[in-house]
Structure 1
Amino acid sequence: MAENSTDPRTGPPAPKSRAQQSTRDLLLSMLPLLLVLLALTGLVGMCSFSPGGPSVDPDVGARSDPDGDLRRAVGSVDLAVREPDLSEDWRVNNVRVSQLGDRGTVATALRVGYLTPDGRYLRLSQSDAEEAELVAFETGVDPAGLGTVEAAGLTWVRYAAQRDEEAWTTELDGQRVLLTGSADEPEFRELAEATVAGDLVEPGAGTATDGG
């Protein structure tokens, strides 16, 4: 019977080196980060870049009944506001009422956010606040005038805003109207014209009369 023999060159495999173990641990620790990056890549794919400002999907967050939202909001404030006469390519994504001021003097602003046909954002604010107060509130910075512009038969004062945006403001119907957002100048002009030409909605009643 043959005797069992052991080849000194064979035996259990040598343990992995410290470098190999470190590489494996590093790959395992990076796995959750890779999963997060993949998820973020999917979200980024839903957005697009526009040289004129952020671009968003016009169907995201659009209101199903913008006229009704506006009139219900007007019914809760003591303001007569214009209802812009815009095409269906403009989508309303929010309507809100905000209070401005302190020290016993409180103003009201009815604010309507729009997604433009090119997917940019533009907000219309109509308020009984003073110009400087409304500009600071809507732009988030101290008022810094950039000159004036003529639009819809009115003179609008231009102000700097955050993120290289700007704001236009004028007086209409005895109160302050302000536009601000990432839209380009033609879109500012379109909303300005639509606002001036829009119906005048009386405070509280939620009814409209012809604009002019």
Structure 2
Amino acid sequence: MEPAQPADRAPVDPPSTSDQPAVDRAGGPDVPEERSHSAVPPPAPPAARSERSPRDMAISLLVLMVPIVLLLAFYRGFLGGDQPNTVDPASAFEQARSAGAFPVSEPTGLGEGWRTVRASYRPAEDGAILRVGYVTPEGRGLQMVQSNVPPERLLPTELTDEGQPQGQTDLGASTWQRYTARGNEQALVLLQPGRTVIVIGDARDNELREMARAVD
């Protein structure tokens, strides 16, 4: 049996639920509501491709070519880049004359444009050889050889085994022998007692003849 309560005591109300924190039935108290969609960053724009038109490429090549053309023009015009290096053959002719192994003839009366590019005199088996190389006015190669080496030894060496006689030709006061030579070369040969003169190269026939007349 419960004890009797005083008559002046007010009844105690049950605690109000309005002051209690809200409770999420699913996640418990203070759990934020899940977002329905995740935040996804927008896709990055594609990198711009560098495309050069044919016109741009042509302009770039032209810009590169201009200094090259200027350098070539300077090299050819002022430095003589297209011209072969020339030498003075005087010392080779002087050595040959001083040796006295055979009569020495120096070409005279050649026209303009002939350039001497090499000259040498050296002893050889059974004699000696004077050899002078030229570039003709047409830009071809020609060589003049004077020697007292016996022709039967000299000609196979200078003309190679391909050298074959092709008949005679009169040039000035002398009669020269025409020969084929190596490759596309041809030769004129003057046979004299104690000396053989050979004019050989890929020069045209008129230039071979001009040299033969100049050295005869």
TM range (shorter): 0.5 to 0.7
Can you list the C-alpha shifts for 1:170-211, whole angstroms capped at 9, x where unaligned?
124631111100111111111111111xxxxxxxxxxxxxxx
Tell whether the 8 Å contact from 2:167 to 2:177 is kept in structure 1 after alignment.
yes
Which SS does the other structure have where 2:203 is aligned?
coil
Tell whether the 8 Å contact from 1:58 to 1:91 is kept in structure 2 after alignment.
no
- Name the counterpart of 1:146: 166
| CA pair 170-87 structure 1, distance change in 2 beyond 3 A | same
- Name the counterpart of 2:84: 60
- Name the counterpart of 1:30: none
Can you list the C-alpha shifts for 1:22-48, whole angstroms capped at 9, x where unaligned?
xxxxxxxxxxxxxxxxxxxxxxxxxxx
| CA pair 59-69 structure 1, distance change in 2 beyond 3 A | farther
Matched residue count = 151
- Name the counterpart of 2:152: 132
Mapped to 2, the partners of 1:58 and 1:154 lie a distance apart of 36
Mapped to 2, the partners of 1:193 and 1:135 lie a distance apart of 20
Mapped to 2, the partners of 1:124 and 1:191 lie a distance apart of 8
- 1:96 equivalent among 120, 139, 151: 120
Q: Does 1:75 align with 2:82?
A: no
Deviation at 1:59, TM superposition (A): 2.8
Which SS does the other structure have where 1:138 is aligned?
helix
Mapped to 1, the partners of 2:93 and 2:107 lie a distance apart of 10
Amino acid aligned to 2:38: E
- 1:3 equivalent among 25, 38, 57: 38
- Name the counterpart of 2:111: 87
Mapped to 1, the partners of 2:120 and 2:193 lie a distance apart of 20
| CA pair 148-94 structure 1, distance change in 2 beyond 3 A | same
Mapped to 2, the partners of 1:58 and 1:92 lie a distance apart of 15
Mapped to 2, the partners of 1:58 and 1:73 lie a distance apart of 31
Deviation at 1:132, TM superposition (A): 2.8
Structure 2, unaligned stretches of length 5 or more?
1-34, 45-80
Tell whether the 8 Å contact from 1:157 to 1:170 is kept in structure 2 after alignment.
yes
Can you list the C-alpha shifts for 1:96-120, whole angstroms capped at 9, x where unaligned?
234544xxxx221111111111111
TM-score computed with the length of structure 1 as normaliser: 0.58
Which SS does the other structure have where 2:183 is aligned?
helix
Matched ranges for 1:132-211 at <5 A: 132-172=152-192, 174-196=194-216
**Which structure has the higher relative contact order (CA within 8 Å, separation 6+)?**
1
| CA pair 82-117 structure 1, distance change in 2 beyond 3 A | same
- 1:117 equivalent among 113, 126, 137: 137
Mapped to 2, the partners of 1:137 and 1:146 lie a distance apart of 18
Matched ranges for 1:3-82 at <5 A: 3-4=38-39, 59-63=83-87, 65-75=88-98, 78-82=101-105
- Name the counterpart of 1:205: none
Amino acid aligned to 1:153: A
Give the aligned CA root-mean-square deviation in angstroms. 3.5
Tell whether the 8 Å contact from 1:108 to 1:127 is kept in structure 2 after alignment.
yes
